[in-house]
Amino acid sequence: MRISELAKIVGGTISSGAADIDIKDVAPIESAGPGAVTFLANGRYTKFLKETKASAVLVPPGKWESSAALIVVDDPYFAFTQVLQALFPLTLDQPEGIHPTVITGKDVSIGERVSIGPYGVIEDRVRIGAGTTIFPHTFIGRGSEIGKDCTIYSNVSIRDRIKIGHRVIIHSGTVIGSDGFGFAPKDGIYHKIPQIGIVVIEDDVEIGANCAIDRAALGETRIGEGVKLDNLIQIAHSVKIGAHTVIAAQSGISGSTVIGSRVVIGGQVGFVGHITVGDGSMFGAQAGVTKSVPGDRVYSGYPAREHRRQLKLEAGITKLPDLIKRVKELENRLKALAPEHHREAE
Catalytic residue annotation: 237
DSSP state of 202: -
| In the chain, alpha helices (H) | 3-10, 76-87, 307-318, 320-337, 339-345
Separation between Cα atoms, residue 103 and residue 208, nearest integer Å:
26
Q: What are the start-end ranges of the E strands in 41-125?
A: 56-59, 69-72, 97-98, 103-104, 109-110, 115-116, 121-122
Q: Which residues pair with 264 in a beta bridge?
A: 246, 282
SS3 223: strand
Which of 256, 264, 273 has the alpha carbon at shortest distance from 300?
264
Give the CA distances from residue 119 to residues 107, 122, 146, in Å, rounded to whole numbers and listed in that order.
Answer: 19, 10, 18
261-264's contacts with Cβ under 8 Å and 24+ in sequence apart are: 261/224, 263/295
How many other CB atoms are there within 10 angstroms of residue 137's CB atom?
17
Following CA atoms 250, 252, 258, 260 in sequence, which dihedral angle do they give, to the nearest 10 degrees?
A: -20
Contact 215, 177 (CB under 8 A): yes
